[in-house]
A and B are shown apart, each in its own frame.
Chain A
């Protein structure tokens, strides 16, 4: 099981809980599941090239991804994913 923490304002806009659990196998699968649940949300998180937007800060089990990292790669069972508004965005 994967736990994902969404930015509070994003969760409110898309009328979903800010903390969700999924059975996603990797980051791409997680984005697809989120977008299936709330159509359009992936476009708020990712650019057309499949990378996270410039001013989002993403942590996976405590490790921060580099800015504009691709939303791909494995997620271990029990992973904790935090998607945060980066301080660089204002």
Chain B
């Protein structure tokens, strides 16, 4: 098993055979911001979003677990006369027949040839609600791409700010799925719009059709109907603000969030803790055994993930460059690395 850690200054890799001892393989793509990465098992490649300040965004590929990388095919760009520009790649999601990529300014691309060439899924930005999209603090970005495991024609995306959207026809048409999601940065009488919410992350369960988890810019939500409706399940958390949300792939009622104060975006009382629910969000349990305290760090939207083992492995990285893992479903934590650059993303690659 590999951990791929995207940071402000390169991609760091760790390898383990037992999920206890982690061997550092050293940084690659050094110097450039790596917002995210992905392991494409079907094609046997790693993909990394390299957002160079000098050379722009690209999705580069490796056939040797990151030792060497290509230059990224034809690249991703909007048309020359488009009012928006592609400035960053935020998300990469390989599927059996297509690889998707989310970019800033918020938009969706796909590749049918393994990343050699990319085309925009134009219907998304052509949706009439596109005018409600704007930038969050991280920019105007499409950061989440989630295929529906029960319906190959259905795909979910989320962007900040903009909200969550769903297609049931592989991208030909889209609908906003933000009913009941709060936009607390809007005037009081406009806090439940059709779109424009600052959704931070969504996670789609592979074990229960329609079950989704959502971390909002204020609010943790659960859906049981593929986003038609959302239930506010974060009210008992010390803060319902945060960035990542991760579900347990085997237990649809179990999910994990990392509460942060709305400002200055570190853990409430400076006690960094992962909070777990086992009952679909009715109750949350703080888990911080093995984590340092006090802390003054954030955990960004793509910086927590899980593996697929029965005894779930969880992994997260902080803005101060520490990387933690748990191999007992979050009950205890151990540090894998510290003093890395600011961590943007943590990805598990299981062979």
A48 near B55 with CB under 8 A, answer no
Cα–Cα distance between A43 and B74 once the two chains are bound (Å): 7
B265 interface hit (Cβ, 8 Å):
no
A53 to B: closest C-beta gap in Å: 6
Complex CA gap A7/B53 in Å reads 14
B77 nearest CB neighbor, chain A only: A48
CB distance A44 to B58 under 8 Å? yes
Tell me the nearest residue of chain B to A43, going by C-beta: B75
Cβ contact within 8 Å between B74 and A40: yes
Q: Report B52-106 residues with CB < 8 Å from chain A CB.
A: 52-56, 58, 71-75, 77-80, 82, 85-86
Interface string of B38-56 (1 = CB under 8 A from A): 0000000000000011111
* B85 A48 Cβ-Cβ under 8 A: yes
CB < 8 Å neighbour of A47 from B52, B54, B72, B77? B77
Chain B interface main SS type: loop
Q: Is the CB of A89 within 8 A of B53?
A: yes
Q: Which residue of B lies closest to A45 (CB)?
A: B55
A41 to chain B, nearest CB (A): 8
In the bound assembly, the distance between CA atoms of A44 and B58 in angstroms comes to 8
Q: How far is the CA of A40 from the CA of B73 in the complex (A)?
A: 6
Residues of B within 8 A of A41 (CB): 71
Closest chain-A Cβ to B239's Cβ sits at a distance in Å of 34
**Residue from B55, B58, B71, B82 with most neighbouring chain A CB atoms (10 Å):** B55
Q: Give how many B residues have a beta carbon under 8 Å from the other chain's beta carbons.
A: 18
CB atoms of B82 and A55 under 8 A apart: no
Q: How far is the CB of B9 from chain A (nearest CB, A)?
A: 10
A residues in contact with B85, CB < 8 Å: 47-48
**Using Cβ atoms and an 8 Å threshold, which residues of chain B touch A28?**
none
Chain A min CB distance to B34 (Å) = 15
Q: In the complex the two chains form, is B80's CB within 8 Å of A48's CB?
A: yes
Residues of B within 8 A of A7 (CB): 54
Which chain B residue shows the least CB distance to A7? Answer: B54
A10 touches B55 (CB 8 A): yes
In the complex, the answer to whether B53 meets A90 with C-beta atoms within 8 Å is yes
Q: In whole angstroms, how far apart are the Cα atoms of A48 and B75 in the complex?
A: 10
Chain B positions within 8 Å of A89 at CB level? 53-54
What is the minimal beta-carbon distance from A30 to any residue of chain B, in angstroms? 17
A50 to B77, CA, bound (A): 12
Q: How far is the CB of B74 from chain A (nearest CB, A)?
A: 6
- Which of A14, A86, A90 lies in contact with B71, CB distance below 8 A? A14
Q: Is the CB of B56 within 8 A of A47?
A: yes
Q: Are B78 and A48 in contact (CB under 8 A)?
A: yes
Residue A56 is within 8 A (CB to CB) of chain B in the complex = yes
Tell me whether A5 is interfacial, beta carbon within 8 Å. no
Q: Which residues of A contact B56 (CB under 8 A)?
A: 43-44, 47, 53
Contacts of B72 in A (CB 8 A): 40
Q: A45: which B residues are within 8 A, CB to CB?
A: 55
From known contacts A47-B85, A48-B85, infer whether A56 and B77 are also in contact, taking CB-CB under 8 Å. no
- Determine the chain A residues whose CB is within 8 A of the CB of B75 once the complex forms: 40, 43-44
Rounded to whole angstroms, the CA-CA distance of A86 and B52 in the bound complex is 12
| Chain A: CB-nearest residue to B82 | A48
Per-position 1/0 for A68-90, Cβ under 8 A of B: 00000000000000000110011
Minimum Cβ distance to chain B for residue A9 (Å): 8
The residues in A between 20 and 56 inclusive whose CB is less than 8 angstroms from any CB of B are 38-41, 43-45, 47-50, 53, 55-56
A51 to chain B, nearest CB (A): 10
Q: Give the complex CA separation of A25 and B72 in angstroms.
A: 28
Q: Is the CB of A85 within 8 A of B77?
A: no
* A56 and B54 contact, Cβ closer than 8 Å, known pairs A13-B71, A40-B71: yes
Q: A40-B73, A44-B71 are in contact. List 8 more A-B contacts (CB 8 A).
A: A10-B55, A40-B72, A41-B71, A43-B74, A48-B80, A48-B86, A53-B55, A86-B54
Which 4 residue pairs across A and B have the least CB separation, nearest first?
Answer: A43-B75, A44-B55, A48-B77, A89-B53
Report which A residues bind B (CB closer than 8 A): 7, 10, 13-14, 38-41, 43-45, 47-50, 53, 55-56, 85-86, 89-90
**B binding-site residues for A, Cβ under 8 Å:** 52-56, 58, 71-75, 77-80, 82, 85-86
